[in-house]
Amino acid sequence: MDPVDVVVVGSGFGGAAFCWRLANKAPKLRIVCLERGGWVDRKAMPSYRRDWQAASFGAWATPPNTRLKSGEKTQTADYPIDDTNSAFKPLMWNGVGGSTMTWAAHFPRLHPSDFKTKSLDGVGDDWPFDYFDLEPYYDENDAITGVAGLSGDPAYPPKPERRMPPIALGRLGAAAARGFDKLGWHWWPVDAAVNSAPFDGRAACNHCGPCLMGCPTGAKASVDVTYWPKAIKSGVELRPHSIVQQVDIEGGRATGVRYRDQAGNEVVQPASLVVVAGNGIGTARLLLASGLDSPALGRNLMFHPAAYLRANFDEEMDGPVGPVGCMLYSHEFYETDPARNFKRGVHIQVTRENSLLSMATRLGPPAWGEGAQQFLRKEFRHSMAVLVLAEDLPEAHNRVTLTDKVEADGLPGVKLDYTLSEHSRRSLDFGLDRGEEFLRAAGAASVLRIPLAPSTGWHLLGTARMGSDPAISVTDKEGRCHKVRNLMVADGSLFPTVGAVNPGSTIGALGLKLADGVARDAA
């Protein structure tokens, strides 16, 4: 292959934002993005089928391990992940657009305090820059993505007027607002990366429900319909079905990558700059397999520890309609309070109902028989779920490592070791208590606590963290590896800490910021 200026590995949020920005800031650079999976076929998405509910247990399951085990033909290029020693099970989409294809599109920013946990609260680490350094990139990322929301939230510094009004709150939102109002707690409609009105050539959401199985209308802002068409128009070459096997490193410099194309041929792609954006597991796996020498690589794996509550109401709610994760949230307890037995805080999010089949499969015990069916009778169209997210703090023993096995994709196998800390447990218990208090105030007739939600491992963060000390960080604040300066990371692996909110917005903003750094160097 002819040499290129920049090769990017991975087409998810970080890679997409990086490519688009760099192509526009440094148009003379030749940029290639290698993506292990393909473009999704929207016409084949389950929401058009009568058996759509079952798809979430097979080819459209959110865990790659479930998709692989289903034996069904999938639209992803998955690899198995040994998660037997991890409290949370990893979720991801391995195809063009990365995990934005099946994300909930809840689009919060980190708080300013999230960037300074060490100096403010004595835990975690400070980021090498602060919220206000990233703020213009958050704004730019919002503008490209399209955000439905409402400005004026007192939990955040002022943000630009949201491009679209919030997604309708429905009956569920009215009941939730009533509960928060009764307690005098903060609540606000979420920033949603979902069109509440037509935007950027994409339709408005018609509230069909199963966002996590892909959005067939494009109302949900996955980066295959936001950044990628613009990046390709700006000259970026995206090569799907290209599984990178190794970053070639010689004499402290990256010389390019080797990848397996769709036909199974090995291709060498020389490049002046290699950028890896394969999420906190995929990036660590590739860099470990490439022999990058960094003691912090793969360590400090963070999710967002999650628990939830399910409540039944006598009144009728909306049922399984609308974007499931995009309704409203409370940050009443997001910031540190010295009176609590933990530092930092919790995110409390009210979510919409899942499909009837999903609700039936999580009943119990018992999950069958008359009692289960009658419980579902009371729950369906009458329930409210509250998700509690805690801030995961970096711990070196929580990590991604390679196994001795070579997987079918040609790369070494990958294993997670992750233990829920006592600190996280205290945070979740506090959040569950507050969540139950809220649900009772909202009028719940019954509340069920789920102390831990293992199948929530969307947020794969921290395994190639930024910092100034090569002993405890992998890259500098520009995302460049300490020991291989023309090798960068551009995804959530970079996060030194993770706050207690979804990371997509920050990953996109970070991708834009890192691209500006490269463009400056190239000028």
Residues that bind other proteins (CB under 8 A): 45, 47-54, 57, 111-113, 120, 150, 152-157, 166, 168-171, 173-174, 177-178, 180-181, 186-189, 205-210, 216-217, 318-322, 331-332, 334-335, 356-357, 360-361, 366-370, 373-374, 376-377, 380-381
- Cβ atoms within 10 Å, residue 115: 24
CB of 57 to other proteins, least distance (A): 7
CB of 328 to other proteins, least distance (A): 9
CB of 125 to other proteins, least distance (A): 18
Which of 63, 322 has the CB closer to other proteins?
Answer: 322
Q: Please give the structure tokens belonging to residue 314.
A: 């006598």
CB of 157 to other proteins, least distance (A): 7
Pairing of strands 237-239, 31-34: parallel
Which of 332, 392 has the CB closer to other proteins?
Answer: 332
Give which of 237, 232, 240, 286 is closest to 262, Cα–Cα: 240
CB of 111 to other proteins, least distance (A): 5
- Angle at the Cα of 245 from the Cα atoms of 90 and 518, rounded to 5 degrees: 85
Which of 158, 451 has the CB closer to other proteins?
Answer: 158
Which of 205, 386 has the CB closer to other proteins?
Answer: 205
SS3 state of residue 20: helix
Element (H, E) at 274: strand 266-276
Which of 70, 255 has the CB closer to other proteins?
Answer: 70
CA atoms within 13 A on the CB side of 416: 26
The Cα 144–Cα 508 span in angstroms is: 10
Which of 53, 242 has the CB closer to other proteins?
Answer: 53
CB of 509 to other proteins, least distance (A): 17
Which of 129, 156 has the CB closer to other proteins?
Answer: 156
For the chain, the straight-line distance linking the first and the last C-alpha, in angstroms and rounded, comes to 25
**CB distance 12 to 277 below 8 Å:** yes
The Cα 193–Cα 148 span in angstroms is: 6
The Cα 388–Cα 430 span in angstroms is: 9
CB of 11 to other proteins, least distance (A): 25
The Cα 279–Cα 463 span in angstroms is: 9
CB of 153 to other proteins, least distance (A): 8
- In sequence order, what DSSP letters do the residues of 55-100 get, joined into one string? GGGTTT-SSHHHHHHH----SS----EEEEEESS-B----STTGGG
The Cα 459–Cα 501 span in angstroms is: 9
Which of 332, 516 has the CB closer to other proteins?
Answer: 332
CB of 168 to other proteins, least distance (A): 5
Note the helical H segments in 88-247: 117-121, 131-145, 170-183, 227-233
Which of 181, 293 has the CB closer to other proteins?
Answer: 181
The Cα 217–Cα 199 span in angstroms is: 12
Which of 64, 320 has the CB closer to other proteins?
Answer: 320
Phi and psi, residue 357, nearest 5°: -65, -40
CB of 139 to other proteins, least distance (A): 17
Contacts for 385 with CB less than 8 Å, ≥ 6 apart: 308, 309, 310, 311, 350, 351, 352, 353
CB of 344 to other proteins, least distance (A): 12
Which of 39, 156 has the CB closer to other proteins?
Answer: 156
